[in-house]
Amino acid sequence: MGSVPAGAIFDVSCFAHSRIAFSSVMKHFSCLILVAFLSTSCMLLGQSTSTIVPTAAIPTLSATEQAKSADVRWLKANAIPFETAEPNSSLEDLMPLKDMIGNARIVALGEATHGTHEFFQMKHRTLEFLVEEMGFNTFAMEAPWPQANLVNDYVHAGEGEPAEILRGYASGGYAQELLDMIRWMRAYNEDPSITRKISFYGFDLVNASPMAKGNVAQYM
């Protein structure tokens, strides 16, 4: 399973800066090589006895490099760093999300790649923030509807074993991270002082599984 460091977006910014700096150095270096070549050629041909003094060309950024530089400046001005992707950590560094989310009732959480450990960890941590700090009470994901209902039974009543339920559709990259999040949801709902319980739903039907067919037949 792939792994990236928390806050990897800043690594990308540093790489962009390095690439621009390297390009500028290469322009200087190429200019000096060209001048040295011309000087040597003139002396060998006896066509000149004057001394050629190389002048450093002022490097200019191409349109592509300028755009990248502008992107880096925008990221530095607007990116909000976070301390960790680990769930069950202090939520203080996520407080800026309150102003960003405002009164929205739906928050979409994406991922740049499927199966990356830290990405789903951060989803788990963000769920903790949304539930504990902003009153959200539903988590829905692209998962088979029938199996997700079984997960919801576990989250609310402790029925079944989530690891067995997940084996059918989340056996790949993020199975353990998803399992950890589901168990956190169950632990949250077990607190008798909390009256606003959280739920887990799936809004996808990947294929006509035997469970789905059985549910339809039972309903009919």
Torsion sign over Cα 93, 10, 110, 70: positive
d(Cα 162, Cα 183) in Å, to the nearest integer?
8
Residues 6+ apart with CB under 8 A from 204: 142, 143, 144, 145
Nearest residue to 145 via CA among 211, 214, 199:
211
Going from the N-terminus, what domains does the chain have, and what CATH number goes with each?
8-78 (no CATH), 92-219 (3.30.1870.10)
Nearest CA-CA partner of 71 in 13, 6, 112 = 13
DSSP-derived letter for residue 92 is G
Q: How big is the chain by its Cα radius of gyration, in Å?
A: 28
pTM: 0.65
pLDDT, one tens digit per residue, over 209-218 is: 677 777 778 8
Residue from 176, 120, 169, 175 nearest 148 by CA: 169
Return the H-helix or E-strand segment holding 140. Answer: strand 138-144
pLDDT tens, residue by residue, 48-99? 444 555 555 566 667 777 778 888 889 889 888 999 999 999 999 999 999 9
For 140-171, letters b (16+ CB in 10 Å) and e give: ebebbbbbbebbbebbbeeeeebeebbeebbe
Digit-by-digit pLDDT tens for the chain (220 residues) are: 444 333 222 222 222 333 333 333 333 433 333 333 334 344 444 444 445 555 555 666 677 777 788 888 898 898 889 999 999 999 999 999 999 999 999 999 988 887 888 999 999 999 999 999 999 999 999 888 888 999 999 999 999 999 888 886 654 556 889 999 999 999 999 999 999 999 999 988 766 667 777 777 887 8
